[in-house]
Amino acid sequence: MTLPASYPIARSRPLDPPPEYQLFRTGRPITRITLDFDDSVVWLVTRYEDARTILGDPRFSSDFSTPGFPARLTAQPPGPGTFIRMDPPDHSRLRRLLLPEFTRRRVQEMRPAIQRIADSLIDDMAGASPPVDLVESLALPLPSQVITELLGVPYEDREYFHFTTKTIGDQSVDPEERMKVRNDLKTYLDELVAGKEARPVDDMLSRLGQRREEAGVSREEVVGIATLLMVAGYETIANQIGVGTLVLLEHPERVEELRRDPDKLPAAIEEIIRHQTVIDYGARRAATADVEVGGELIKAGEGVVVVLASANRDEEIFHDPDRLDFDREQRDHLSFGYGIHQCMGQLLARTQLEAAWSTLFRRIPGLRLAVPVEKVPFRHDMFVYGVHALPVTW
Which residues bind to ligand HEM, rule: CB under 6 A?
62, 83-84, 95, 228-229, 232-233, 236-237, 240, 278-279, 283, 335-337, 341, 343-345, 348-349
Distance of closest approach, residue 107 Cβ to ligand HEM, in angstroms: 10
352 versus 359: smaller Cβ distance to ligand HEM? 352
107 versus 181: smaller Cβ distance to ligand HEM? 107
In the chain, beta strands by DSSP E: 6-7, 30-35, 41-45, 60-61, 132-133, 283-287, 291-293, 296-298, 303-306, 368-369, 391-393
The DSSP output letter for 389 is -
349 versus 364: smaller Cβ distance to ligand HEM? 349
Q: How many whole angstroms separate alpha carbon 341 and alpha carbon 265?
A: 26
132 versus 225: smaller Cβ distance to ligand HEM? 225
261 versus 332: smaller Cβ distance to ligand HEM? 332
Q: Find out whether the peptide bond into 321 is cis, omega within 30 degrees of 0.
A: no
Distance of closest approach, residue 303 Cβ to ligand HEM, in angstroms: 13
In terms of phi and psi (left: phi > 0; alpha: psi -120 to 50; beta: otherwise), the region of 124 is alpha
How far is C-alpha 170 from the chain's CA centre? 14
62 versus 66: smaller Cβ distance to ligand HEM? 62
In terms of phi and psi (left: phi > 0; alpha: psi -120 to 50; beta: otherwise), the region of 301 is left
Distance of closest approach, residue 166 Cβ to ligand HEM, in angstroms: 16
The answer to whether 130 and 393 have CB atoms below 8 angstroms apart is yes
Distance of closest approach, residue 384 Cβ to ligand HEM, in angstroms: 8
The answer to whether 22 and 313 have CB atoms below 8 angstroms apart is yes
68 versus 233: smaller Cβ distance to ligand HEM? 233
Could you tell me which of 67, 8, 102 has the C-alpha nearest to residue 299? 67
Distance of closest approach, residue 106 Cβ to ligand HEM, in angstroms: 12
Distance of closest approach, residue 323 Cβ to ligand HEM, in angstroms: 20
Q: How many whole angstroms separate alpha carbon 203 and alpha carbon 388?
A: 32
CA dihedral angle for residue 349, residue 250, residue 328, residue 142, rounded to 10 degrees: 10
326 versus 336: smaller Cβ distance to ligand HEM? 336
209 versus 337: smaller Cβ distance to ligand HEM? 337
Q: How many whole angstroms separate alpha carbon 87 and alpha carbon 346?
A: 20
The DSSP output letter for 153 is -
The helix/strand/coil state of 60 is: strand
The helix/strand/coil state of 251 is: coil
123 versus 274: smaller Cβ distance to ligand HEM? 274
Q: Which residue is nearest to ligand HEM (CB)?
A: 345
How far is C-alpha 72 from the chain's CA centre? 19
Q: How many whole angstroms separate alpha carbon 15 and alpha carbon 272?
A: 11
Distance of closest approach, residue 131 Cβ to ligand HEM, in angstroms: 25
